[in-house]
C-alpha cells in the first residue's frame, strides 16, 4: 500500500497527455476551460479566506486608489477594495448562472422529451411558442421578467432561466423525434414497455451527451445575461456584490480615467464566460468529432 | 510516336495519424503522343493518385516524395507555381468522376467557360471567349443557348459533356480522365466512350484513362498499365495483354471477368484481400495472394523486366 | 409566428407589477380617480377585448399614448428608430466583413497558427460583454488617446436639428451636402458600430470557417484547380460564394442578438435609439411605450427573416428554378 501522491499525479498527467494526443487541441481547450471555471469556483467558495477585506468595508483604504500593493485592484469611490468585491462577486454570478441553467435544463429537457414523444396538437402548439420565444431577443425577455419580478437573487435567476428553456426544448425535442423512430424503440414498445419507461430508459440517455454541452454554454450565456441585467440596473439590490453592478458604477468614473473600476469586473465576466464556453466547445468537439477537421 | 509525358520513379506518400500510406511506389509510365493509355486497377491501388500527381492536385496530406514528371522538357514536380497554373487546363487537363459535383452550382455555364479561357488568355475579349465556348458545346452536341443556364438544370450526360468541353476548350495536349464513366449508366457510358474516341481524333489528344472497368479500357486503350498495391505490375499493348496476360495478378483480373460463353459454375476470384499500404508485405506486394509465389517473392520487390515488348514486375519473368 | 410574439408581448406587459395608473397619477390619488382613469384607458375591459383591441391597434400602426409624457408612442418610437437602425447597419457591415474574411482566411490557412488564433478569437469574442468592450474602447480611444468620440450621434458643435429630415443622419447630411456634418456623424458611429460589430463577428468567423472547410473539399473546387484557376480566386470567389447561403441564415438568426447588443451599446454610448428608449421607459413604468417598443422589435425580427429569404433566392439559382 505505497501510494505516493507523486505517482498518483504522474499517472493523472500521463492520462491527460494521452487523451490530449488522441483528441488534439480540442481536449486542451476543454481542460483549460475547466481549469478556469474551477479556479473561479474555488475563489468563490473560499471567498472569505482569499479576500483581504470585506466587500462592504467602506474603510478599506483611501478613495479611488489605482492598483497598488495593498489593493491589487485598487479601491472604488466608496473606499471599498475592488479585489475583495471581485472575489465575493464570483459567488453571486456563479450562483445565479448555474442555478438558472439547472432550472432551464430541467424544464426544457422535460418539456422537450414529452412534447417530442407525444406529438400531436400539444407538440405543435408548444413548438410554436418555443420557437417564437427562441427567436426573440433573450435580453428583452429577461429585462421584462426582471422588471416584473423585481430585484432579488431568486428573481433574477428565474428571469435568466426562462429565456433558455426553448434552447433545450428544441434540441431535446429534435433528438427525441429521431430516436423515437429507431428500431430499438419499436422493439421496446413491442415487448410492452410503458411510455414512461421508453422515455427515461431509451431516449433520455441518448439525449444527455449533447445536453451537457448545451448546459455549459448555457451557463456562459446566463453569466452574460445576468451581468447585462445588473449593468442596466435591474435584478439585484445594491447590497449584493455583483460584477455587473460594479461595472455600472465604475462607468461614471470612466471620464476621469479611473480605469480599474471597470477593467477588472468586466475582465472577470469575460474570463468566467470564456471558461464555460471553452469547456463546452471542447467537449462538443470530442463528443462529435468533425472528422474533416483532422 | 514520340513521348509526350514521362513519369519516372514517382513515389507518393500520405502521412496520416496511424502511419504513412505508401500510395504510389516507383512508378514509371510514358505517354506517347496521340495514344490512349488505360491505367487499371482495383479501388485503392493508387491509380487516381498518379492522375492527381501529374497536375500536382494532391490533397493534403499527400506528398510527392520522389520522382519526376517530365512534360515539354520541364519537371512538373519541381515547377514554379505560376508555371503549373499555366499548364493546368491549358496544356494538360483533367476530368473527374462525378459531373454533378464537378461544376460549381452557383455560376452559370458560360461564366465558368469564360473564366477558364480568360485565365489562360488574358487579353481575349468576352465575346470571343463566348463564341469559342458555344462552338465547342455545339461540337459536343449541346445547343449553345443552354450556355446561360446553371449546372443543376442539365442532365448527367450533358454535364459530363460540359466538363469535357471545359477540359478541351484550350486545346490541351493531354487529357487525364479519372474514372469518367463510373457514375454513368451503361447507355450513357457507351455514348461517352464514342465521344471520347471522336474527340481524341479531332483534337489529336493523348489520353490517360484511369478506371477499374476493364470493359472501358478494352474499347478505348492502345496500351494498358496494370496497377496493384501502389506498384505498376504490367505495361503493354492492350490487345496483347488481353490475349496473353503475363503477371499473375493481371491473369487473375482477366479471369474474374464473367464470360457468358464459358460454362462457369462458379465465378473465378482471387483469394485474399488488397494489401495494407501502411504496412505492405515484404518483397512482392502480390505474393500473399499469388498461386505461383516463390521464395524470392517474399524477400525482394521484383524489378520491371522487359519481355516480348511488354514490361512486367514479377520474378517469374526476370 | 409574429402573432405568437405579439401575444407574448401583450401577456408580459400585462403582468408587470405595479399599477400603472397609480404611478401615473402620483401614487396618492383617491380610489375614485384611479377607477375613472382606468375606465378611460380601457383597462377595466375583459382581457380578451383588450387583446383584440391591441392587435387591431398594431395593424393600424397605432401604439397608443405614453402614460408618462403626452405623446403618441408611435411618434416617440419613430423618432428614435433611425438611430438604432443606423447603428445596426453599421454593425452588420463590420460583422459580416470581419467575420467572413477572417473565416475564409482561417479556412485557407488551415492548421496554421493564424488559423488557431482566429478560431480562438471566434470563441472568445462572444464572451466579452458588449458594454464592457464598449467601455474599454471608450477608455482607450476616447480618454487615453482621445481620438474618437464616446457618446451621442453628433458632436457639440453640430446641431442635428438643422439637417434632420429622415432621421438617418448619414442620408440627411448627404442630402444637404454638409460634408463636415457627415464626417462628424460618421466618426460618432465608429466606436459603437465597431463595438457591436466585433462582438457579433465571432459566430460568423466560426461559421464561415466551418463551411469553407467543407466547400474547399468539394469536387467543383478540385475541378476549378485543375483548370489552372489561381488559389486566391478559388478561395475568395468560387468557395466563398457557396458559403454565403448558410451565413445568411445565421444572419437572420442573429437579429435577436443584434437587438440585445444594440440595447446595451446604446446605454453605454448614450446613443439616442430604441434600446435606450426601452430602458428609460421601463424605469418610468411607461407601459404603452414599453409595449410599443417591444412590438416594434418583434416586427423587426420578423422582417429581417423575410429579407433573408429574399436574398436567398437572389443568390442561389437552385431555389429560383
pLDDT tens track, chain A, 294 positions:
556 677 777 777 777 677 666 666 778 888 888 999 999 898 888 888 877 777 777 776 777 777 777 777 788 788 788 888 888 888 888 988 999 999 998 998 888 888 887 878 888 888 888 887 887 788 888 887 887 777 888 888 888 888 889 989 988 888 888 877 777 777 877 887 777 777 677 777 777 777 888 899 899 989 999 998 888 888 788 788 888 888 888 888 887 877 888 888 889 999 999 999 999 888 887 777 543 333
| Residues ≥6 apart with Cβ < 8 Å to A49 | none
What is the reported pLDDT for C158?
66
Report the distance separating Cα C235 and Cα C237, nearest Å.
6
> Cβ(A207)–Cβ(A168) under 8 Å?
no
Cis previous bond, B61, omega within 30: yes
Chain B residues in contact with C219 by the CB 8 A cut-off are 96, 98, 101-102
Nearest CB to B104: which of C217, C224, C321?
Answer: C224
Mutate to test the interface with A, among C13, C130, C131 (most CBs of A within 10 A): C131
Chain C residues in contact with B105 by the CB 8 A cut-off are 220, 242, 317-318
Is residue B193 classed as helix, strand or coil in its secondary structure? Answer: helix
> Cβ(A207)–Cβ(C105) under 8 Å?
no
C-alpha cell at A180: 423515437
Report the distance separating Cα B39 and Cα B306, nearest Å.
19
Is residue B168 classed as helix, strand or coil in its secondary structure? Answer: helix
Nearest CB to A132: which of C8, C253, C259?
Answer: C8
| Residues ≥6 apart with Cβ < 8 Å to C296 | C63, C77, C81, C274
Strand partners, B107: none
C-alpha cell at C321: 428554378
CA dihedral A239, A240, A241, A247 (to 10 degrees): -80
Report the distance separating Cα A178 and Cα A170, nearest Å.
13
- Give the residue from chain B lying closest to C312, CA to CA: B106
Give the lowest-confidence range in B59-68, B286-295, C42-51: C42-51
Report the distance separating Cα A167 and Cα B85, nearest Å.
49
Chain B residues in contact with C313 by the CB 8 A cut-off are none
Neighbouring CB atoms inside 10 A of B7's CB total 24
What is the reported pLDDT for B208?
93
- Among residues A132, A283, A275, the alpha carbon closest in space to that of A211 is found at A283
Q: Look at the block and give the residue holding cell 520522382.
A: B67
Instruction: Quick: pLDDT tens for C110-146.
Output: 778 888 888 888 888 888 888 888 888 888 888 777 7
Chain C residues in contact with B89 by the CB 8 A cut-off are 226-229
- Cβ contact, residue pair C297, A262, below 8 Å: no
- Among residues B53, B41, B51, the alpha carbon closest in space to that of B285 is found at B41
Q: Which DSSP symbol is given to A199?
A: I
CA distance C40 to chain A (A): 24
Report the distance separating Cα C138 and Cα C188, nearest Å.
12
Neighbouring CB atoms inside 10 A of C264's CB total 26
In whole angstroms, how large is the CA radius of gyration of chain A?
A: 23
pLDDT classification of C30: cutoffs 50, 70, 90: low
- Contact A277/C at CB under 8 A: yes
- Give the residue from chain C lying closest to B167, CA to CA: C227
- Cβ contact, residue pair C123, A277, below 8 Å: yes
- Cβ contact, residue pair C139, A247, below 8 Å: no
Strand partners, B174: B92, B206
Report the distance separating Cα C263 and Cα C275, nearest Å.
4
- Give the residue from chain C lying closest to A258, CA to CA: C139
Q: At what angle do helices C2-14 and C47-59 cross, to 10 degrees?
A: 130
- Cβ contact, residue pair C316, B106, below 8 Å: yes
Subunits in contact with chain C (3 or more CB pairs closer than 8 Å): A, B
- Cβ contact, residue pair C138, A254, below 8 Å: yes
- Cβ contact, residue pair C227, B152, below 8 Å: no
Chain C residues in contact with B119 by the CB 8 A cut-off are 227-230
What is the reported pLDDT for C16?
56
pLDDT over 90, % of chain B: 17
- Contact A206/C at CB under 8 A: no
Q: Is the pLDDT of residue B210 over 50?
A: yes
Neighbouring CB atoms inside 10 A of B28's CB total 15
- Among residues B136, B214, B215, B121, the alpha carbon closest in space to that of B169 is found at B136
What is the reported pLDDT for A292?
35
Instruction: Quick: pLDDT tens for C209-240.
Output: 888 888 888 888 999 988 888 888 888 888 88
Nearest CB to C219: which of B90, B101, B152?
Answer: B101
C-alpha cell at B9: 520513379
Nearest CB to C227: which of B59, B101, B116?
Answer: B116
Nearest CB to B105: which of C224, C229, C318?
Answer: C318
Q: Which DSSP symbol is given to A232?
A: T
What is the reported pLDDT for A291?
39
State residue C173 phi and psi, 5-degree precision.
-70, -35
> Cβ(A219)–Cβ(A98) under 8 Å?
yes
What is the reported pLDDT for C14?
63
Report the distance separating Cα A255 and Cα C314, nearest Å.
48
CA dihedral B184, B185, B190, B195 (to 10 degrees): -30
Q: Is the pLDDT of residue C189 over 60?
A: yes
Report the distance separating Cα B159 and Cα A94, nearest Å.
59
Mean pLDDT score, C272-280 = 85
A14-to-A20, A249, C173 alpha-carbon distances in Å: 9, 47, 66
- Cβ contact, residue pair C129, A231, below 8 Å: yes
- Contact C124/A at CB under 8 A: yes
- Give the residue from chain C lying closest to B165, CA to CA: C227
Report the distance separating Cα C104 and Cα C213, nearest Å.
9
Mutate to test the interface with C, among A93, A137, A234, A243 (most CBs of C within 10 A): A137
- In B, what residues contact C, Cβ < 8 A? 55, 57, 59, 84-90, 93-96, 98, 101-107, 115-116, 119-120, 150, 152-153, 163, 166-167
- Contact C11/A at CB under 8 A: no
Is residue B108 classed as helix, strand or coil in its secondary structure? Answer: coil
Strand partners, B305: B312
Strand partners, B75: B70
Is residue B37 classed as helix, strand or coil in its secondary structure? Answer: strand
Q: Look at the block and give the residue holding cell 474574411.
A: C101
CA distance B247 to chain C (A): 34
Give the lowest-confidence range in A283-292, B68-77, B268-277, C168-177: A283-292
> Cβ(B156)–Cβ(B142) under 8 Å?
no
Report the distance separating Cα B96 and Cα B181, nearest Å.
9
State residue B140 phi and psi, 5-degree precision.
-90, 0
Full DSSP string of B252-292: HHHHTS--TTS--SS----SS----SSSPPSSSTTGGG-TT
- Give the residue from chain B lying closest to C244, CA to CA: B106
CA distance C221 to chain B (A): 8
| Residues ≥6 apart with Cβ < 8 Å to B202 | B139
- Cβ contact, residue pair A270, C278, below 8 Å: no
C-alpha cell at A119: 406529438
What is the reported pLDDT for A293?
37
**Strands lying side by side in the sheet with B63-71:** B19-32, B3-16, B63-71, B74-75
What is the reported pLDDT for A23?
63
Q: Is the pLDDT of residue B175 over 90?
A: yes
- Among residues C83, C26, C84, C63, the alpha carbon closest in space to that of C289 is found at C63
What is the reported pLDDT for A232?
85
C-alpha cell at A150: 423585481
Strand partners, B11: B66
- Contact A291/C at CB under 8 A: no
Instruction: Quick: pLDDT tens for C137-179.
Output: 888 888 777 777 777 777 776 666 666 666 677 777 777 777 7
Strand partners, B13: B22, B63
Report the distance separating Cα B156 and Cα B177, nearest Å.
17
Q: How many CB pairs under 8 A join A and C?
A: 130
- Cβ contact, residue pair A232, C264, below 8 Å: yes
Judged by CB atoms within 8 Å, which residues 194-233 of C form the interface with A?
210, 213-214, 217
Chain C residues in contact with A160 by the CB 8 A cut-off are none
Report the distance separating Cα C272 and Cα C292, nearest Å.
17
Q: What sign does the CA torsion over C276, C281, C282, C288 have?
A: negative
- Among residues B170, B173, B72, B168, the alpha carbon closest in space to that of B121 is found at B170
Which value does ipTM take for this structure?
Answer: 0.83
Q: Is the pLDDT of residue B239 over 70?
A: yes
> Cβ(C250)–Cβ(C257) under 8 Å?
no
A257 Rama sector, left if φ>0, alpha if ψ -120 to 50, beta otherwise: left
- Contact C267/A at CB under 8 A: yes
CA distance B120 to chain C (A): 8
Question: Residue C102 belongs to what H/E stretch?
Answer: helix C73-108
What is the reported pLDDT for C301?
78
Q: Is the pLDDT of residue B67 over 50?
A: yes
Amino acid at each position: 500500500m505505497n501510494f505516493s501522491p507523486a505517482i498518483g499525479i504522474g499517472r493523472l498527467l500521463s492520462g491527460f497527455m494521452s487523451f490530449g494526443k488522441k483528441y488534439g487541441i480540442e481536449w486542451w481547450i476543454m481542460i483549460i476551460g475547466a481549469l478556469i471555471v474551477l479556479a473561479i469556483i474555488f475563489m468563490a467558495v473560499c471567498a472569505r479566506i482569499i479576500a483581504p477585506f470585506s466587500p462592504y468595508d467602506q474603510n478599506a483604504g483611501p478613495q479611488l486608489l489605482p492598483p497598488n500593493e495593498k489593493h491589487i485592484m485598487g479601491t472604488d469611490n466608496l473606499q471599498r477594495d475592488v479585489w475583495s468585491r471581485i472575489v465575493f462577486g464570483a459567488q453571486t454570478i456563479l450562483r445565479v448562472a448555474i442555478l438558472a441553467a439547472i432550472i432551464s435544463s430541467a424544464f426544457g429537457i422535460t418539456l422537450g422529451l414529452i412534447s417530442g414523444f407525444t406529438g400531436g396538437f400539444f407538440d405543435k402548439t408548444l413548438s410554436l411558442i418555443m420557437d417564437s420565444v427562441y427567436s426573440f431577443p433573450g435580453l428583452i425577455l429577461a429585462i421584462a421578467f426582471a422588471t416584473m419580478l423585481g430585484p432579488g437573487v431568486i428573481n433574477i435567476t428565474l428571469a435568466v432561466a426562462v429565456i433558455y428553456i426553448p434552447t433545450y426544448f428544441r434540441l431535446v425535442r429534435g433528438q427525441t423525434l429521431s430516436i423515437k423512430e429507431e428500431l430499438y424503440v419499436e422493439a421496446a414498445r413491442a415487448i410492452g414497455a410503458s411510455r414512461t419507461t421508453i422515455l427515461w430508459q431509451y431516449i433520455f440517455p441518448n439525449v444527455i451527451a449533447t445536453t451537457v454541452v448545451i448546459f455549459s454554454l448555457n451557463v456562459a450565456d446566463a453569466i452574460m445575461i445576468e451581468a447585462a441585467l445588473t449593468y442596466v440596473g435591474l435584478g439585484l439590490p445594491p447590497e449584493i456584490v455583483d460584477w455587473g453592478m460594479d461595472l455600472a458604477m465604475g462607468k461614471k468614473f470612466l471620464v476621469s480615467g479611473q480605469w480599474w473600476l471597470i477593467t477588472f469586473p468586466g475582465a472577470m465576466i469575460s474570463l468566467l464566460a470564456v471558461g464555460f464556453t471553452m469547456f463546452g466547445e471542447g467537449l462538443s468537439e470530442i463528443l462529435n468529432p468533425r472528422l474533416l477537421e483532422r | 510516336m514520340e513521348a509526350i509525358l514521362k513519369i519516372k520513379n514517382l513515389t507518393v506518400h500520405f502521412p496520416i495519424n496511424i502511419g504513412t500510406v505508401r500510395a504510389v511506389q516507383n512508378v514509371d509510365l510514358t505517354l506517347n503522343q496521340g495514344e490512349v493509355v488505360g491505367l487499371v486497377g482495383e479501388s485503392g491501388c493508387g491509380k487516381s493518385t498518379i492522375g492527381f500527381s501529374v497536375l500536382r492536385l494532391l490533397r493534403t496530406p499527400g506528398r510527392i516524395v520522389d520522382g519526376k514528371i517530365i512534360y515539354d522538357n520541364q519537371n512538373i514536380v519541381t515547377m514554379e507555381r505560376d508555371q503549373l497554373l499555366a499548364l493546368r487546363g491549358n496544356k494538360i487537363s483533367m476530368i473527374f468522376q462525378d459531373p454533378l459535383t464537378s461544376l460549381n452550382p452557383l455560376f452559370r455555364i458560360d461564366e465558368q467557360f469564360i473564366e477558364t479561357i480568360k485565365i489562360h488568355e488574358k487579353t481575349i475579349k468576352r465575346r470571343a471567349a463566348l463564341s469559342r465556348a458555344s462552338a465547342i458545346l455545339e461540337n459536343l452536341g449541346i445547343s449553345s443557348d443552354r450556355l446561360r443556364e446553371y449546372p443543376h438544370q442539365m442532365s448527367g450526360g450533358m454535364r459530363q459533356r460540359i466538363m469535357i468541353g471545359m477540359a478541351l476548350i484550350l486545346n490541351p495536349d493531354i487529357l487525364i480522365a479519372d474514372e469518367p464513366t463510373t457514375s454513368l449508366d451503361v447507355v450513357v457510358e457507351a455514348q461517352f466512350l464514342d465521344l471520347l474516341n471522336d474527340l481524341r481524333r479531332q483534337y489529336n489528344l493523348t489520353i490517360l484513362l484511369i478506371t477499374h472497368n476493364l470493359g472501358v479500357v478494352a474499347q478505348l486503350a492502345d496500351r494498358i498499365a496494370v496497377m496493384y498495391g501502389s506498384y505498376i505490375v504490367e505495361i503493354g499493348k492492350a490487345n496483347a495483354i488481353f490475349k496473353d496476360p503475363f503477371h499473375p495478378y493481371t491473369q487473375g483480373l482477366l479471369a474474374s471477368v464473367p464470360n457468358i460463353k464459358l460454362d462457369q459454375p462458379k465465378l473465378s476470384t482471387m483469394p485474399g484481400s488488397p494489401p495494407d499500404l501502411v504496412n505492405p508485405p515484404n518483397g512482392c506486394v502480390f505474393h500473399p495472394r499469388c498461386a505461383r509465389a516463390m521464395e524470392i517473392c517474399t524477400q525482394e520487390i521484383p524489378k520491371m523486366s522487359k519481355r516480348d515488348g511488354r514490361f512486367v514486375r514479377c520474378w517469374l519473368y526476370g | 409566428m409574429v402573432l405568437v410574439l405579439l401575444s407574448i408581448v401583450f401577456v408580459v406587459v400585462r403582468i408587470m407589477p405595479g399599477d400603472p395608473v397609480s404611478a401615473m397619477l402620483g401614487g396618492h390619488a383617491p380610489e375614485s380617480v384611479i377607477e375613472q382613469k382606468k375606465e378611460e384607458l380601457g383597462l377595466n375591459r375583459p382581457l380578451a377585448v383588450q387583446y383584440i383591441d391591441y392587435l387591431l391597434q398594431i395593424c393600424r400602426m397605432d401604439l397608443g399614448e405614453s402614460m408618462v409624457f403626452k405623446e403618441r408612442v408611435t411618434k416617440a418610437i419613430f423618432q428614435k428608430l433611425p438611430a438604432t437602425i443606423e447603428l445596426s447597419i453599421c454593425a452588420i457591415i463590420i460583422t459580416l466583413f470581419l467575420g467572413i474574411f477572417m473565416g475564409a482566411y482561417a479556412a485557407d490557412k488551415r492548421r496554421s497558427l493564424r488559423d488557431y488564433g482566429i478560431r480562438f478569437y471566434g470563441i472568445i469574442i462572444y464572451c466579452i460583454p458588449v458594454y464592457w468592450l464598449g467601455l474599454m474602447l471608450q477608455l482607450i480611444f476616447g480618454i487615453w488617446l482621445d481620438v474618437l468620440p464616446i457618446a451621442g450621434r453628433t458632436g457639440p458643435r453640430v446641431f442635428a436639428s438643422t439637417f434632420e429630415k429622415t432621421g438617418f443622419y448619414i442620408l440627411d447630411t448627404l442630402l444637404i451636402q454638409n460634408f463636415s456634418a457627415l464626417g462628424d456623424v460618421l466618426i460618432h458611429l465608429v466606436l459603437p458600430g465597431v463595438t457591436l460589430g466585433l462582438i457579433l463577428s465571432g459566430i460568423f468567423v466560426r461559421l464561415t470557417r466551418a463551411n469553407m472547410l467543407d466547400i474547399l473539399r468539394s469536387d467543383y473546387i478540385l475541378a476549378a484547380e485543375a483548370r489552372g484557376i489561381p488559389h486566391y480566386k478559388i478561395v475568395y470567389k468560387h468557395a466563398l460564394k457557396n458559403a454565403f447561403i448558410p451565413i445568411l441564415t445565421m444572419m437572420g438568426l442573429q437579429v435577436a442578438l443584434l437587438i440585445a447588443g444594440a440595447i446595451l451599446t446604446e446605454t453605454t454610448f448614450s446613443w439616442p435609439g430604441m434600446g435606450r428608449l426601452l430602458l428609460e421607459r421601463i424605469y418610468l413604468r411607461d407601459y404603452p411605450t414599453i409595449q410599443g417598443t417591444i412590438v416594434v422589435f418583434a416586427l423587426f425580427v420578423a422582417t429581417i427573416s423575410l429579407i433573408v429569404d429574399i436574398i436567398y433566392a437572389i443568390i442561389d439559382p437552385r431555389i429560383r428554378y
